[in-house]
Amino acid sequence: MSLLSTITTLIVAFSTVCVLRILFIFKRGHCRSKRAASDTCGLAVFLGSGGHTTEALALVSALDFSRYNPRTYIISDGDNLSAQKAHELEERKSERNRESNYTIIYVPRARRVHQPLWTTPPTVLASLVTCVKHAIHAALQPEPVWDILILNGPGTCFSICTAVYLNRFLGLASPRILYIESFARVRSLSLSGRLLRPFVDRFIVQWPEVLQEGGRSQYFGCLV
Amino acid sequence: MQAFVTVGSTKFDDLIDTVASEDFLTRLSANGYTRLVVQYGKSKLRLPFQGETSHGVEIIAWQFKPSLSEEYLAADLVISHAGSGTILEVLRLNKRLIVVANETLLDNHQRELADALSTQGHLVSSTVSSLPQALESIATMKVVPFPPFDGSKFARILDEEMGFI
C-alpha cells in the first residue's frame, strides 16, 4: 500500500513539474533579446517542396547572409529539387558575400501526398524522431546554430515545431519560430497554419482577409 | 505573337484539349498569334500536332523543361494552371496572363488566388469553358502592373524579431 502511495505521489509530483514547465515555456515565448548590429544569428528554414520552397527561399533571399549565419535548410527526404534550389540561392548570394556557411539536413515526410490518414502514425513518428535528433544536435553546438526557425508548411512543419518544443521543455537552446502563411492563401488559413498558429512565436499572413480568422496573425502585404 | 500554355507538373487534360481545338486556334489567329507553345506535363496530348501549323498557328508541344523562365519571356501571352509560383513569376515579368483553374481538383484555394489577383486587375481568371472570352478580355484590358519583389519588408520583420532593430 505504501509502495502504491509512493508511486502515486511520484506521478503527481512529476506531472506537476511537467505542467509548470509547459506553462513556463508558454509564458517565456514572448520575450525578445536585443542584439548588436555586428552579432550573427543562426537561421533554420524548412523547404516544404513546390510552392512552399519557392516562397521560403524568396523570403530567405532578402536577408543579410553575413548576419543570418550559419543557415540550415531542412528538406524532406527525396526532395532533390528543393536542395538544388537552396544550393543555387547560396551560390548566388556568395558571389556578393564571398562566404557560404550552410548545411542541408533531411527529414522523413510526416505524411506523403495521398497517403491514407490511418497509416500516418508510424511515418509521423519517424519524422518526429529525426527532427528531435537534429534539434538537440543543433542546441548542443558551442554556438547556437538555430536562433530563428522559419516555417511555411506543409505537414512536416509540425514535427519540427514539436522537436523545438521538446528542446524548450528540456531547457536546451531553442529557436524562435516564425510562420509565414503562403501567398496562395487568400481567404483561409492552410491546415498546417491553423494547427501551428497557437504554438509559433509569430504568425504572418499575406492577404488581409486571412487576418479576420482572429488570433495573433499579422499582415504586412505580399512578402514574396 | 506567341502564346505559351503551361500546366506545370499537373495533369490538366481539359486545358490541353481546349487549346488544341479548332475554335481556340482560330481565335488565337484572329487575335494576331502565330505561334503556340504547349508545356503539357502529365496531361494527355491527344493530337499529334508537334511542329504543325494549324489554322494559321504554328504549334510546338513538349512535356517538361528544367526552367520555364525563357518561355515566359518569349511569350506575349501566358495561359497557365493556377500554381502560385507560376503566377508570381509571370506577373513579375509583366506578361499578360490568363489563369485557368483546374476544377477537377478538390482544393480550390488556388482559384481564390487567381480570382483575387484578377479583381486587382493583374490577370484574367478563367475556367476551361470560358477560355475564349478570357482571350478577348486579356486582349482589351489594361493590365495593372504587379509590384516587383521587395525583400526589405521581410528582412525588417526578421531583424526586428531577432532584436537587431
pLDDT 10s digits, B88-126: 999 999 999 999 998 876 566 778 999 999 999 999 999
Domain-wise residue ranges, chain B = 2-161
B154: chain A residues, CB-CB within 8 Å: 59, 62-63, 180, 223
pLDDT at B100: 96
Per-residue pLDDT tens for B8-41?
Answer: 888 899 999 999 899 999 999 999 999 999 999 9
Cβ A60 vs Cβ A43: under 8 Å? yes
C-alpha distance from A114 to closest chain B C-alpha (Å): 13
Residue among B88, B81, B141 at smallest CA distance from B117: B88
Interface residues of chain A, partner chain B, Cβ below 8 Å? 32-35, 37, 39, 41, 50-51, 54-55, 58-59, 61-64, 67-68, 147-148, 176, 178, 180, 182-188, 190, 201-202, 204, 207, 220-224
Which phi and psi angles does A145 have, rounded to 5°?
A: -100, -15
Q: Among all residues of chain A, which has the CA nearest to that of B115? A: A186
For the cut 70, the answer to whether the pLDDT of residue B47 exceeds it is: no
**Are A183 and B88 inside 8 Å of each other by CB?**
yes
For the cut 70, the answer to whether the pLDDT of residue B69 exceeds it is: yes
**Are A62 and B163 inside 8 Å of each other by CB?**
no
CB contact residues (below 8 A), chain B span 73-92, against chain A:
83-85, 88
Label the pairing between strands A148-151 and A176-180: parallel
3-state secondary structure of B104: coil
Q: Where are the beta strands (DSSP E) in A133-182?
A: 148-151, 176-180
Domain-wise residue ranges, chain A = 40-219
| Record: fold of A40-219 | Rossmann fold (3.40.50)
What CATH class has B2-161?
Answer: alpha beta
**pLDDT top residue among B56 and B98:** B98
Cβ A221 vs Cβ A215: under 8 Å? no
**Are B85 and A204 inside 8 Å of each other by CB?**
no
**pLDDT top residue among B66 and B98:** B98
pLDDT at B55: 87
In chain A the first and final C-alpha atoms are separated, in Å, by: 64
The whole-number average pLDDT for the span B38-67 is 85
| ipTM confidence score | 0.88
Q: Where are the beta strands (DSSP E) in A30-158?
A: 43-47, 71-76, 102-107, 148-151
B116, B154, B163 ranked by CB distance to A34: nearest: B163
C-alpha distance from B156 to closest chain A C-alpha (Å): 9
The whole-number average pLDDT for the span B137-144 is 95
Cα separation, A132 vs A167, in Å, equals 8
C-alpha distance from A32 to closest chain B C-alpha (Å): 7
pLDDT at A64: 95
CB atoms within 10 A of CB B28: 24
pLDDT at A76: 95
**Are A63 and B110 inside 8 Å of each other by CB?**
no
Q: What predicted TM-score, i.e. pTM, was given to this entire model?
A: 0.88
Cβ A176 vs Cβ A147: under 8 Å? yes
Number of CB pairs, chain A paired with chain B, less than 8 A apart: 80
* Residue-by-residue pLDDT tens, chain A, 224 positions: 688 899 999 999 888 888 888 877 776 655 577 899 999 999 999 999 888 999 999 999 999 999 999 999 999 999 999 999 999 999 999 876 566 799 999 999 887 777 888 888 888 999 999 999 999 999 999 988 999 999 998 989 999 999 999 999 999 999 999 999 999 999 999 999 999 999 999 999 999 999 876 678 999 999 99
Rg (CA), chain B: 17
pLDDT at A95: 73
B112: chain A residues, CB-CB within 8 Å: 186-187
Q: Among all residues of chain B, which has the CA nearest to that of A64? A: B155
A32: chain B residues, CB-CB within 8 Å: 161-163
For the cut 90, the answer to whether the pLDDT of residue B48 exceeds it is: no
Label the pairing between strands B96-100 and B124-126: parallel
| Percent of chain B predicted with pLDDT > 70 | 95
**Are A62 and B151 inside 8 Å of each other by CB?**
yes
Q: Cell triple for residue A23?
A: 506553462
